[in-house]
Amino acid sequence: MNKKLLILLILVCFLFSVSVASAKLVKIGGVACLTGGAATYGASTKNGCLLAFKAVNAEGGVDIGGTKYLINYIFEDDQGSAEVAANAFRKLIDQDEVVAIIGSVMSKCTLAGAPIAQDAGVPVISPTSTNAQVTLTGDYIFRACFIDPFQGAVVANFSYNDLKAKTAAVIFDNGNDYTKGIAEVFRESFEKLGGKVVAYESFTDEDKTTDFSAQLTNIKAANPEVIFLDAYYSAAALEAKQARALGITVPFVGPDGWDSAEFPKLGGEAVEGGHFCTHYSAEDPRPIAQNFVKKYTETYGQTPDALAALAYDAALILIDSLQRAGSTDGAAIRDAIFATNLECVSGQIIFDENRNPIKKAAVLKVENGKFVFVKFVQP
Ligand code: PHE
């Protein structure tokens, strides 16, 4: 190589490293399950956050009190385990000294990490943890999604009024705060409408259970008109297949846990025609939703699911709050998050007194291996 060119190259590298080193950084933690039976949740969550943060960094960073900060997103895999999640929250807070955390996905994981963040005064926005208890941990804990008392009622209503089912069965994981919570709301709501839950079958630990034949045999004997497969996508797909193999032909309904491109792949024919409740539809015509779908698809080569949309929304909420807080102080960020009024991909975000946004749900249907939009349900 020509000597002059080499010197020029070294100079450029030096200037670049100096400018990078002198740029101010703000650290934001991320927690989600990137491995285990619900790994697509973590991938979507990480991708959704990165899309928002990279866009801000490309513009020179986020303006906090008149200074531009580049966002340093530090991600931890909680493997869908509450214990691992608690350690991840601790590591991000104590070691990395993040100013806020976006996570986790599963309610049981956020419930394990949230008290640690609350004690440390580090704000948390869970994109997707729907269990009602999550934000009740304390005033530093927020979420970007609706809560299960709403979601369970949406599924019950859809089963009774749209599918015209008068009897229903439920199968759920008894050891999971999320599935257990929605099962209760579904039963209560369905019976309030005039329906009857004729079988209420549970098991413990969906990660370890692969044979649902005992529960499904009881459900078959009760002869329900609809079955609520209240589980994350891997278990729900397995339950559907085993139910069909037992000769059960009635329709399935599900919660947001079905929301993964893997679900129709794993469930195949068995999940065709099933309906589930989730947080957003890629067919939402609002410009903010369509721009997001376009950018995400260009970047990652797949249609964003609800987890990607909610992670993106949680990142938007945090960026907007950091700007309004004008400080990286935990209490200032918390107050700014609480005052949010922002249009996001999944809807307008305004927090109620329990730090939950009040938002519409989407009902989607599995059709030819894809999710198609059925309708929005307002709270
Ligand atoms: N709502 C689930 C929980 O609280 C997580 C989830 C959200 C899964 C959205 C899929 C889609 O555990």
Q: What is the pLDDT of residues 336-376, one digit of tens each?
A: 999 999 999 999 999 999 999 999 999 999 999 999 999 99
Q: What is residue 33's three-state secondary structure?
A: coil
Q: What is residue 145's three-state secondary structure?
A: coil
Q: Vertex 126, ends 148 and 297: CA angle to 5°? A: 100
116 against 209, higher pLDDT? 116
Minimum-distance ligand 1 atom for the alpha carbon of 128: 7
Cβ contact 129:107 at 8 Å:
yes
**Gap between the Cα atoms of 108 and 95, Å rounded:** 23
pTM of this structure: 0.93
Report the separation in Å between the CA atom of 177 and the middle of ligand 1, taken as the mean of its atom positions.
11
Residue 334: partners with Cβ closer than 8 Å, 6 or more residues away = 121, 123, 139, 140
pLDDT value at position 3?
66
For residue 19, pLDDT beyond 70: no
HSE at residue 146, side-chain half, CA atoms within 13 A, is 26
Minimum-distance ligand 1 atom for the alpha carbon of 130: 4
For residue 231, pLDDT beyond 70: yes
Give the residue, out of 34, 44, 106, with the most ligand 1 atoms within 8 A of its beta carbon, to mutate for a pocket test: 106
pLDDT in tens, 168-196: 999 999 999 999 999 999 999 999 999 99
Rg over alpha carbons for the chain, rounded to the nearest Å, is 22
Take residue 171 and report the two structure tokens written for it: 């199968």
DSSP characters over 277-315: EES--TT--SHHHHHHHHHHHHHHSS---HHHHHHHHHH
Give the residue, out of 129, 151, 155, with the most ligand 1 atoms within 8 A of its beta carbon, to mutate for a pocket test: 129
Res. 251 pLDDT band, cuts 50 70 90 = very high
For residue 11, pLDDT beyond 60: no
Cβ contact 43:34 at 8 Å:
yes
pLDDT value at position 4?
65
Give the residue, out of 179, 256, 307, with the most ligand 1 atoms within 8 A of its beta carbon, to mutate for a pocket test: 256
What CA–CA distances, in Å, run from 331 to 33, 118, 353?
Answer: 28, 11, 17
Res. 18 pLDDT band, cuts 50 70 90 = very low
What CA–CA distances, in Å, run from 289 to 76, 105, 153, 204?
Answer: 27, 21, 25, 37
pLDDT value at position 23?
78
Res. 307 pLDDT band, cuts 50 70 90 = very high
pLDDT value at position 22?
59
Res. 31 pLDDT band, cuts 50 70 90 = very high
For ligand 1, atom 8: residue with the closest CA: 257
Report the separation in Å between the CA atom of 35 and the middle of ligand 1, taken as the mean of its atom positions.
15
Mean of the pLDDT values across residues 1-9? 59
Res. 209 pLDDT band, cuts 50 70 90 = confident
Report the separation in Å between the CA atom of 231 and the middle of ligand 1, taken as the mean of its atom positions.
9
For residue 74, pLDDT beyond 80: yes
Domains of the chain, each with CATH number or no CATH:
24-146+285-359 (3.40.50.2300), 148-278 (3.40.50.2300)
Residue 208's φ and ψ, nearest 5 degrees, are -105, -10
Pocket residues: Cβ below 6 A from ligand 1: 41, 105-107, 128-131, 178, 256-257, 259, 306-307
Task: For residue 228, give the amino acid letter.
Answer: F
Q: What is residue 62's three-state secondary structure?
A: strand
pLDDT in tens, 257-303: 999 999 999 999 999 999 999 999 999 999 999 999 999 999 999 99
Mean of the pLDDT values across residues 18-22? 50
Average pLDDT along the chain: 95
Take residue 221 and report the two structure tokens written for it: 């004997």
